[in-house]
Amino acid sequence: MPIDWFPLWLSLRVATISTAIALAGGLWLAWIMSNYQFRGKEILDAAVTLPLVLPPTVLGYYLLVVLGRNSPLGQLYEWAFGQPLVFTWQAAVVAALFHSTPLLVKSARAAFESVDRSYERAARNLGASELRLFWRVTLPLARRSILAAAALAFARSLGDFGVTLMIAGNIPGRTQTVAIAIYDAVEAGNGAAARVLVLILSAVALLVLSLANRLTTNPFGPRHSAI
């Protein structure tokens, strides 16, 4: 029986895009949380962590409410891009994003905090602006741990099931990601297809995680594992 490879490619594409977005947004969030004291920091921290502990259905429900066709955000998206967000592959990106960002922010924050404070003090003392300090000192010093965090986020996005199902649906050839395709294949009694996808997904995840672990042996900082 021929295997439909579309879900695998879709998952890889979704995970790549969501990791890129998570990096762009998560890094500065992590930077702010590791560097500044402000009111509501605890709440922000908890809110960022929330998706890690909430059941996927709860998260999916929230997203449906916030991004659905009747919500202001959903209408704004529809107005801007000419199509609704929910039940498209872009919605799968959003779902993956909510799964991977918490992990990325947490690991990136730990990475920033593991950079010896004296380098940041030295940079400030030498007149560097906060932006320059971030780009020229902290980020390069935390580089490997950040890459490891991104790899973890990628692996995590690859495997999302519940949230994706709730807001992107299960439309074969359009929004069916690999995790959902495996579920479908098992339900349909197509054990051979399920086995192949399971093995491939496991191999990719294993590869990414071992890469992450190799990266966390940071030559500039203390050793710590990504997980």
Partner 1 sequence: MIRARIRKQFPPGPESAGFSLDIDLQAGKGITVLFGPSGAGKTLTLDSIAGFIRPDEGRILLDDQILFDGAAGVHLAPQARRCGYVFQNYALFPHMTLRKNLEFAAERIPRLERHRKVNEMLEKFHLSEVSGRRPRELSGGQKQRCSIARALIGAPRLLLLDEPARGLDPPLRAELYSLLRQVRDDFDMPVLLVTHDLEECFQLADEMIVIREGRVVQSGPPRKIFEQPANVDIARLLGVFNLLPVEIRALDPSRNTSRLRYEDFELTGPYFPGRLIGDRAWLCIRPDQLSAKPRNGHPGFNEVPMRLVRVIEKPERLRLEFAGDVVVDVEPHSFENYSSVKDWVVEFPNAGLRIL
Return residues touching partner 1 (CB under 8 A): 116, 118-119, 121-129, 132, 136-137, 140-141, 220
8 A C-beta contact, residue 86 and residue 168: yes
In this complex, which beta carbon is closest to partner 1, that of residue 98 or of residue 112?
112
Minimum distance, C-beta of residue 191 to partner 1, in the bound complex (Å): 51
Minimum distance, C-beta of residue 144 to partner 1, in the bound complex (Å): 11
- Between CA 178 and CA 201 the distance in angstroms is 8
Location of structure tokens 């050793």: 223
Minimum distance, C-beta of residue 115 to partner 1, in the bound complex (Å): 10
- Chain centroid offset of residue 227 CA: 15
Minimum distance, C-beta of residue 141 to partner 1, in the bound complex (Å): 6
8 A C-beta contact, residue 145 and residue 225: no
Minimum distance, C-beta of residue 132 to partner 1, in the bound complex (Å): 8
In this complex, which beta carbon is closest to partner 1, that of residue 41 or of residue 132?
132
Minimum distance, C-beta of residue 222 to partner 1, in the bound complex (Å): 13
In this complex, which beta carbon is closest to partner 1, that of residue 123 or of residue 197?
123
Minimum distance, C-beta of residue 111 to partner 1, in the bound complex (Å): 14
Structure tokens at 193: 């297809």
In this complex, which beta carbon is closest to partner 1, that of residue 142 or of residue 158?
142
